[in-house]
Amino acid sequence: MDIPRFHLAFPVRDLAEARAFYGGLLGCPEGRSSDQWIDFDFHGHQIVAHLAPGEVGHKSTSPVDGHDVPVRHFGAILKPAAWDALAQRLTAAGTEFVIEPHTRFKGEAGEQSTMFFLDPSGNALEFKAFADDAMVFAR
């Protein structure tokens, strides 16, 4: 199946921090940039960190399976092995998780491994993995 790539622009307080976090820690190759923004290849999708210090951070949460999930967040659905490797890399780097790596909806449709953390600007990210990819949109 040919899936269109998405484009997401989001605010950051400092481009050097964004470059170190997205390019370094998360391993997203850098694309074009200026003194106001940086493109990153986010698992085949284009995300753009825009310098906008007054717009950063998450404000609200919503209850999901016993956790307070940041309402405004983005991330990727990875294969389980890639998710495990990322969780280990983030833990080794001393990442403070908003929601620690765990399995959500155990034994239900949509069972998934998930974790939430913030970038240096306070933008919330979620990475998840499904043992069965058919469960991504299960009801």
Same domain, 79 and 39: no
Q: What is the CATH number of the domain that holds 128?
A: 3.10.180.10
Buried b (16+ CB within 10 A) or exposed e, 126-136: bbbbbeeeeee
The domain tally of the chain equals: 2
Q: Report yes or no: 121 and 18 within 8 Å, Cβ to Cβ.
A: yes
80 and 106 inside one domain: yes
CB half-sphere exposure, 18, CA atoms < 13 A: 27
Q: What's the pLDDT score for residue 10? A: 96
CB 88 within 8 Å of CB 79: no
Higher-confidence position of 72 and 51: 51
Q: Could you tell me if 42 and 71 lie in one domain?
A: no
The pLDDT assigned to 45 comes to 96
* C-beta neighbour count of 104 within 10 angstroms: 18
- pTM of structure: 0.90
Q: How far apart are CA 89 and CA 93, in angstroms?
A: 6
**7-50 confidence digits (pLDDT tens):** 999 999 999 999 999 999 999 999 999 999 999 999 999 999 99
Average pLDDT over residues 72-95: 96
Residues 43 and 81 in one domain: no
Residue 123 lies in a domain: yes
| 37, β-bridge pairs | 50
- What pLDDT score was predicted for residue 1? 52
Do 65 and 131 belong to one domain? yes
| Residue-range definition of the domain harbouring residue 14 | 7-53
Contact 10, 50 (CB under 8 A): yes
In this structure, the number of other CB atoms found within 10 A of the CB of residue 32 comes to 9
